[in-house]
A and B are shown apart, each in its own frame.
Chain A
Amino acid sequence: MPLTWLRVAVGFYTVGLLYALLALTRRSELLNRIALPAMVLGMVFQFVSLTEAVLLSDHPTLTSVHNSESLLALLIMVFFMIVYLFYRTTSPGIVIFPIVFLLTFVSATGEQPFLFVTPGVKKSWLFAHIALIFTGYAALFLSFGASLLYLVQERSLKSKKSNGILSRLPALETIDEIGYRSLLLGFPFMTLGLIAGTVVAQSTYGRVNLLDPKILLSVLMWAVYLIMLYTRWNAGWRGRRAAYLATFAFVAAVVAWAANYFSGIHRFVSS
Chain B
Amino acid sequence: MNFQLIGVNHKSAPVEVRERLALPDSRLADACKRLTEQPGVEEGMILSTCNRVEVLARTVNGTADLRGFIRQFFKLDPGELDSYFYEYREQDMVRHVFRVTSSLDSMVVGEPQILGQVKEAYAVARTAGTVNSQLDSLLTRAFAVAKRVRTETAVGSSAVSVASVAVELAKKIFGSLNGKHVYLVGAGKMSELAARHLLAHGAASIFVANRTYDRAVQLARKFSGQAILFEQLYETCDRADIVITSTGAPFAIFRREHGEAFLARRRNRPMFFIDIAVPRDVDPEVNKLDGIFVYDIDDLQQAVSAHVADRKKEAERAEAIVANEVERFQARLQTLEVVPTIVSLQDHLETIRQAEIDRVRGRLGELSPDQELAVDALTKGIINKIMHTPITTLKSAAREPEATTVIEVVRRLFNLQDKKAEDKSNSASNAGAKT
CB contact between A236 and one of B172, B267, B287 (< 8 Å): that residue: B267
Binary A-proximity of B255-299 (CB < 8 A = 1, otherwise 0): 000000000001111100000000000000001001101010001
**B263 → A minimal CB distance (Å):** 9
CA distance A153 to B291 in the complex (A): 11
Residues of A within 8 A of B299 (CB): 160
CB contact list, A214-245 vs B, under 8 A: 235-241
CA distance A171 to B171 in the complex (A): 7
Residues of A within 8 A of B266 (CB): 236
Residues of B within 8 A of A157 (CB): 169, 172-173, 293
Residues of A within 8 A of B174 (CB): 171-173
Does A174 sit at the interface, judged by CB under 8 A?
yes
| CB-based contact A171/B175 at 8 Å | yes
CB contact list, A163-199 vs B, under 8 A: 170-174
Given A158-B287, A158-B293, A160-B302: A238 and B268 interface contact (C-beta under 8 Å): yes
CA distance A174 to B270 in the complex (A): 12
Does B326 sit at the interface, judged by CB under 8 A?
no
Residues of A within 8 A of B302 (CB): 160
**B296 → A minimal CB distance (Å):** 9
| CB-based contact A173/B267 at 8 Å | no
Given A160-B299, A239-B290: A172 and B270 interface contact (C-beta under 8 Å): yes
Interchain residue pairs with CB less than 8 A apart (22): A157-B173, A158-B293, A160-B295, A160-B302, A162-B306, A170-B175, A171-B173, A171-B175, A171-B176, A172-B172, A172-B173, A172-B174, A172-B175, A172-B270, A173-B173, A173-B174, A173-B270, A235-B267, A236-B268, A237-B268, A238-B268, A238-B291
| Interface positions of A (Cβ within 8 A of B) | 153-154, 157-158, 160, 162, 170-174, 235-241
CA distance A56 to B123 in the complex (A): 65
Residues of A within 8 A of B287 (CB): 158
Of B270, B295, B303, most buried by chain A (CB within 10 Å of CB) is B270
CB contact between B290 and one of A160, A171, A240 (< 8 Å): that residue: A240
CB contact list, B306-328 vs A, under 8 A: 306
Least CB separation from A233: chain B residue: B267
| CB-based contact A236/B269 at 8 Å | yes
Residues of A within 8 A of B267 (CB): 235-236
Least CB separation from B269: chain A residue: A236
Residues of A within 8 A of B303 (CB): 160, 162
CA distance A15 to B303 in the complex (A): 34
| CB-based contact A241/B290 at 8 Å | yes
CB contact between A235 and one of B169, B176, B268, B293 (< 8 Å): that residue: B268
Of A158, A173, A240, most buried by chain B (CB within 10 Å of CB) is A173
CA distance A172 to B270 in the complex (A): 9
Binary A-proximity of B163-175 (CB < 8 A = 1, otherwise 0): 0000001011111
* The 4 residue pairs across chains A and B that have the minimum distance between CB atoms: A236-B267, A171-B175, A236-B268, A239-B290
**A28 → B minimal CB distance (Å):** 14
With A158-B293, A172-B173, A173-B175 already in contact, 10 other A-B pairs whose C-beta atoms are closer than 8 Å: A157-B169, A157-B173, A160-B299, A160-B302, A171-B171, A171-B172, A171-B174, A172-B174, A173-B173, A239-B268
Binary A-proximity of B128-143 (CB < 8 A = 1, otherwise 0): 0000000000000000
**A27 → B minimal CB distance (Å):** 11
Binary A-proximity of B17-36 (CB < 8 A = 1, otherwise 0): 00000000000000000000
Least CB separation from A171: chain B residue: B175
Least CB separation from A156: chain B residue: B172
Residues of A within 8 A of B306 (CB): 162
| CB-based contact A239/B291 at 8 Å | yes
Least CB separation from B298: chain A residue: A160
Residues of B within 8 A of A238 (CB): 268, 290-291
Residues of A within 8 A of B172 (CB): 153, 157, 171-172
Residues of A within 8 A of B268 (CB): 235-239
Least CB separation from B169: chain A residue: A157
CA distance A154 to B291 in the complex (A): 8
Residues of B within 8 A of A160 (CB): 295, 299, 302-303
CB contact list, B165-189 vs A, under 8 A: 169, 171-176
CA distance A239 to B172 in the complex (A): 15
CA distance A240 to B270 in the complex (A): 13
**B169 → A minimal CB distance (Å):** 7
Least CB separation from B171: chain A residue: A171
Least CB separation from B296: chain A residue: A160
CA distance A237 to B269 in the complex (A): 9
CA distance A238 to B289 in the complex (A): 12
CA distance A240 to B295 in the complex (A): 20
Residues of A within 8 A of B291 (CB): 238-239
**A8 → B minimal CB distance (Å):** 33
**A191 → B minimal CB distance (Å):** 25
CA distance A150 to B269 in the complex (A): 13
Of B172, B173, B270, B302, most buried by chain A (CB within 10 Å of CB) is B172
CA distance A237 to B306 in the complex (A): 34
Least CB separation from A176: chain B residue: B270
**A152 → B minimal CB distance (Å):** 12
**B301 → A minimal CB distance (Å):** 11
CA distance A171 to B167 in the complex (A): 13
Residues of A within 8 A of B175 (CB): 170-174
CA distance A12 to B293 in the complex (A): 40
Least CB separation from A166: chain B residue: B172
CA distance A171 to B172 in the complex (A): 4
Of A158, A170, A241, most buried by chain B (CB within 10 Å of CB) is A158
CA distance A240 to B291 in the complex (A): 9
CA distance A158 to B286 in the complex (A): 11
CA distance A134 to B258 in the complex (A): 44
CA distance A160 to B306 in the complex (A): 11
